[in-house]
Amino acid sequence: MLKNLLVASTVLAQGFLAAAAPHTQRTPPSPPYVDPISPSLDPFYTATPDFEKTAPGTVLKIRPAAGNLTDIVGAAAAFNVLYRTTDSQFKPDVAVTTIFVPVTDTQPALVSIQLPYNSANVDDSPSFTLNTDVLSQAEVIDSLKLGWFVNVPDFEGTRASFTAGVMSGHATIDSVRASLNLREKLGLPEGTRVALFGYSGGSLATEWATELAVQYAPELEFAGAAMGGLTANITSVMQTIDNGPFAGLIVSGIVGLSSQFPPVRDFVLSQIKPENLTEFLSVLALPAAVANIQFAFRNISDFFVNGIDAAMADPIVKEAVFSDQIMGFHGVPKPPVLAYHAVNDEVTPIADVEELVARYCEVGGNFLLTRNSAGGHLEEFVNGRQAAFDFLTAVFQGRLPEGFPADGCAVRDVTVDVVAQLAAAAAAA
């Protein structure tokens, strides 16, 4: 259903997307088709010798994107790039990003789209799944139609470290560095502005990138960041979704975080009932959609000998959770930030987002938080989408959209129900 709604909302926005004036026209090449190989089997995802000695953002490998990605509407070229990054323990690591060059660029703009792939399975990485994921392709296509270069990082890295905020933020930042290091090959114009965009699990990487960039990448200046369905506190998210339709995210989140912290992995696994261990670890090989179905409406606490709260209360786990799953303690985002959230979000409570934004606002952040009275977490993906694109368009033009605070912060209550409009239109058709 969400895919259908997004396609419909994209059609409604076509007039806006077509309004941009052309600047540079490119002729798409016709590279030979190469079947995509799942990341777990593809040697391209393997680090190069001595990569540890290179700087974060260094391009280690590059190839034309496998599969049909070069044929995506509006793309003149698409590349997979293996680059050096830094993991959650600040050790050298690698990740892959996919970069799209627009057929027509209307302004010097690079948008880094952090897709919500929400998986502890490396084969769910966007560099691979973009070939078949229509929902994710829509975000890329609409950005290309606006003449933007598009960067789509596998921000969980090659260990699929879902919910590991520091890894996700570093990998996002370094994917941008890698893109800029390829300026000549990609044809990125001088003065290219860079902005970040992500929803739900993609907002996790987006926010952590803005939070960490102050110290990790002071040379980067982001024009803005749009983040919706923000997962400000993963512990709170887990408590909210247990026993519900999104309970599978708890399992994937625990397994994903612990991939960055082996002692945490060992301890957590020791706390799971032996008869539940195989099923719990199945998320390492299951597609995210299948894992979510398998664990939906389950009491995840029952998988543990003494319950999940006891396991998460252990000092070794609490340290990793605080460092990687609770936003707001590593730095203050420098760019203007649009945060959009459904008041009735059933995955990530809006109170956590309000608390995070308030904390940033006290120390110089520039935020607009919109609180939408319509819909929940899934609906806000569609309902908030046009506002996010409007914001990105504005910051790429060197301005703030109407109603955005010139400095400081603002909180605005809105009622935007694109989902209901689309449903009504479909019923009337």
Q: So which residues are the catalytic ones? A: 200, 345, 377
3-state helix, strand, coil in the chain (%, to 5): 45, 20, 35
First to last CA, the chain: 17
Backbone region of residue 332 per phi and psi (left: phi > 0; alpha: psi in -120 to 50; beta: other values): beta
CA distance 323 to 24: 44
The residue among 232, 210, 229, 231 whose CA lies nearest residue 340 is 229
- Distant-in-sequence, close-in-space partners of 317: CB < 8 Å, separation ≥ 6: 264, 267, 268, 311
Q: Write out the two tokens for 349.
A: 């409570």
Beta strand segments in 145-215, E? 149-153, 193-199
User: Could you write out the DSSP letters of every residue in 328-344?
Assistant: SSS----S-EEEEEETT
Three-class secondary structure of residue 378 per DSSP:
helix
Residue that the structure tokens 């799209």 belong to = 100
CA 123 to mean position of chain CA atoms: 16
Residue that the structure tokens 């399992």 belong to = 251
Residue 13 phi, psi dihedral angles, 5° rounding: -90, 0
CA of 33: how far to CAs of 69, 73, 151, in Å? 10, 16, 21
Q: Write out the two tokens for 149.
A: 């270069």
* CB of 153 closer than 8 Å to CB of 97: yes
What DSSP character marks residue 23? -
Three-class secondary structure of residue 323 per DSSP:
helix
Task: Return the exposure string of 193-202: e unless at least 16 CB atoms fall within 10 Å of the residue's CB, then b.
Answer: bbbbbbbbbb
